[in-house]
Amino acid sequence: MTKNDYIATPKRTKEILQTYDFSFKKSLGQNFIIDSNILRKIIEYAHIDKTSGVIEIGPGIGSLTEQLAISAKNVVAFEIDQRLIPILEDTLSAYDNIEVINQDILQVNLTEIIEKHFSPDQAVHIVANLPYYITTPILMGVLQQRTSIESMNVMLQKEVAERMAAKPNTKAYGSLSIAVQYYTEASIVMDVPKTVFIPQPNVISSVLRLVRRDQPLVHVHDEDQFFALVQASFKHRRKTLRNNLQTYFKGTLDKAQIDAFLRKADIDGTRRGESLTIEEFARLANTIYSA
**33 near ligand SAM, judged by CB under 6 A:** yes
Strands annotated E in the chain: 32-33, 53-57, 74-78, 98-101, 124-129, 151-157, 184-192, 197-198, 205-212
Q: Quick one: which of 79, 156, 233, 243 contacts ligand SAM (CB under 6 A)?
A: 79
Site for ligand SAM, residues 87 to 116, rule: CB under 6 A? 104-106
Site residues for ligand SAM, 113-172, by CB under 6 A, read 129, 131, 134
Choices 25-33, 145-153, 163-171, 227-235; region in contact with ligand SAM by CB under 6 A: 25-33
The least CB distance from residue 240 to ligand SAM, in Å, is 40
What dihedral angle (degrees, nearest 10) is formed by the CA atoms of 91, 16, 13, 204?
A: -100
CA distance 73 to 153: 17
Applying CB under 6 A, the span of 45-53, 57-65, 207-215, 277-285 interacting with ligand SAM comes to: 57-65
Which spans in 3-109 are helix H?
Answer: 10-19, 36-45, 63-71, 84-91
Residue-wise DSSP of 182-197: HHEEEEEEEEE-GGGE
| Per CB under 6 A, 80 contacts ligand SAM | yes
Judged by CB under 6 A, the residue of 32, 173, 183, 234 near ligand SAM is 32
Asked if residue 228 binds ligand SAM (CB under 6 A), the reply is no
In whole angstroms, what separates CA 182 from the centre of its chain? 13
Q: Which of 16, 30, 206, 267 binds ligand SAM (CB under 6 A)?
A: 30
Alpha helices in 130-214 (DSSP H): 135-144, 158-165, 175-183
Residues that bind ligand SAM (CB under 6 A): 28-33, 57-60, 63-64, 78-81, 84, 104-106, 129, 131, 134
